């Protein structure tokens, strides 16, 4: 990582979205609104789960950690992006770029791993309901989340070390609003094949393993639901998975759009828009998805609001 910093680049310029001052002001207000809603929504979910005893269940424990990850990577991206929208010099230091990329990579990997863990939780809940409390114990929940964070850290270290060991001796203008792999590799004046291989291998292992885990879990879930004779019971059982399935679709859909297609200058704007979607929009939507589609969460929110009003 030091090698890259000794090649003449001490800072990068983030090109961002536009040079139009009026549009920049509009985007600042929009991103501020999105980030504020995301922050308040995820903090509300975390607080609600911690203070409400009835939500001390495995699924809510995973949702709490998912909200923490959503706060982390939206906070890694949004504040710097908003500052640059108003700043005359839209720069980020080399060390700042390394830090931002590491935390961004860690958060993405943690998100996909937690979604896979939650799929396993839904599988046990639907297919082994009588043994759910035994199979999904508190100890196992902590182990699964800890393993997700550890694997995410290893993955992020590999990505960061391989990317920032490259030499940056030409242009320092990143055609993006944060430090990400494709635009940074385009700036490198050294051979990027090894860094690209590391990126592909580690992304493939994390992506394919989690997608496979989710697909297998839902295959068994669907088979189990189809064996239920009553249509009402089938829908009730499926509805317990609807929130998780919505989050998986939104997050993986945007990631696949970005990282499974080559980035050209003509697709750079699309790349930025979809990046906004998975770094800022999805973290904002997740609390709404889990609070509006989860009966226990809605009931707990009503009880908390009612207690607050009575206390006042």
List of residues 6+ apart from 90 with CB closer than 8 A: 13, 14, 15, 16, 84
Question: What mean pLDDT do residues 33-45 have?
Answer: 93
Tell me the residue range of the domain where 167 lies: 2-311
pLDDT (tens digit per residue) in 66-90: 999 999 989 999 999 999 998 888 8
Closest CA to 282 of 9, 61, 53, 74: 74
Q: Give the model's pLDDT for residue 259.
A: 62
pLDDT cut 90: percent of the chain above it: 46
Mean pLDDT of 256-279: 71
Kindly state the average pLDDT of the residues 106-134. 93
Q: Is the pTM of this model over 0.85?
A: yes
Q: Is the pLDDT of residue 309 over 70?
A: no
Share of the chain above pLDDT 70, in %: 90
What is the C-alpha to C-alpha distance for residues 166 and 272, in angstroms, rounded to an integer? 23
The pLDDT of residue 31 is: 94
pLDDT class for 5, splitting at 50, 70, 90? very low
Let me know: does 205 contact 45? Beta carbons within 8 Å: no
* Segment 139-151, tens digit of pLDDT: 999 999 999 999 9
Residue 4: pLDDT over 50: no
Decide: 291 and 297 in contact? Cβ < 8 Å: yes
Q: Provide the pLDDT for residue 289.
A: 86
Quick check: 121 pLDDT over 90?
yes
Q: What is the dihedral of CA 33, 297, 255, 165, to 10 degrees?
A: 80
pLDDT greater than 50 at residue 32? yes
What residues does 13 pair with on adjacent strands? 91, 173
Name the packing angle between helices 282-292 and 295-311 (round to 10°).
Answer: 90
With 70 as the cut, is the pLDDT of residue 312 above it?
Answer: no
Q: What is the pLDDT of residues 151-195, one digit of tens each?
A: 999 999 999 999 998 888 878 899 889 998 888 988 888 888 888
Q: Residue range 34-50: average pLDDT?
A: 92
pLDDT band at 266 (very low <50, low <70, confident <90, very high): very low
Domain count within the chain:
1
Residue with tokens 């496979």: 212
Give the strand pairing for 173-174 and 91-93. unpaired
For residue 159, the domain's CATH number is: 1.20.1070.10
């Amino acid at each position: 990582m030091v090698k890259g910093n000794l090649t003449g680049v001490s800072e990068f310029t983030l090109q961002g979205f536009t040079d139009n001052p009026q549009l920049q002001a509009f985007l600042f207000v929009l991103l501020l609104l999105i980030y504020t809603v995301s922050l308040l929504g995820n903090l509300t979910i975390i607080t609600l789960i911690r203070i409400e005893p009835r939500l001390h269940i495995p699924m809510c424990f995973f949702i709490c950690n998912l909200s923490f990850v959503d706060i982390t990577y939206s906070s890694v991206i949004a504040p710097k992006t908003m500052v640059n929208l108003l700043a005359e010099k839209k720069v980020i230091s080399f060390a700042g770029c390394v830090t931002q990329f590491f935390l961004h990579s860690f958060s993405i990997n943690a998100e996909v791993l937690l979604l896979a863990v939650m799929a396993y939780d839904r599988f046990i809940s639907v297919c082994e309901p009588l043994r759910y409390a035994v199979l999904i114990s508190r100890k196992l929940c902590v182990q699964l989340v800890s393993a997700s964070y550890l694997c995410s850290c290893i993955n992020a270290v590999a990505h960061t070390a391989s990317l920032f060991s490259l030499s940056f001796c030409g242009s320092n203008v990143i055609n993006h609003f944060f430090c990400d792999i494709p635009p940074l590799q385009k700036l490198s004046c050294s051979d990027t094949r090894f860094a690209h291989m590391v990126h592909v291998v580690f992304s493939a292992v994390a992506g394919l393993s989690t997608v496979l885990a989710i697909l297998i879990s839902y295959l068994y879930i669907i088979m189990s639901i189809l064996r239920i004779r009553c249509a009402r019971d089938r829908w009730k059982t499926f509805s317990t998975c609807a929130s998780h399935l919505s989050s998986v679709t939104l997050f993986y859909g945007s990631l696949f759009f970005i990282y499974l297609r080559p980035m050209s200058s003509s697709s750079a704007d699309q790349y930025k828009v979809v990046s906004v979607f998975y770094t800022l929009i999805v973290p904002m939507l997740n609390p709404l998805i889990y609070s509006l589609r989860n009966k226990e969460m809605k009931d707990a929110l009503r009880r908390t609001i009612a207690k607050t009003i009575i206390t006042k």
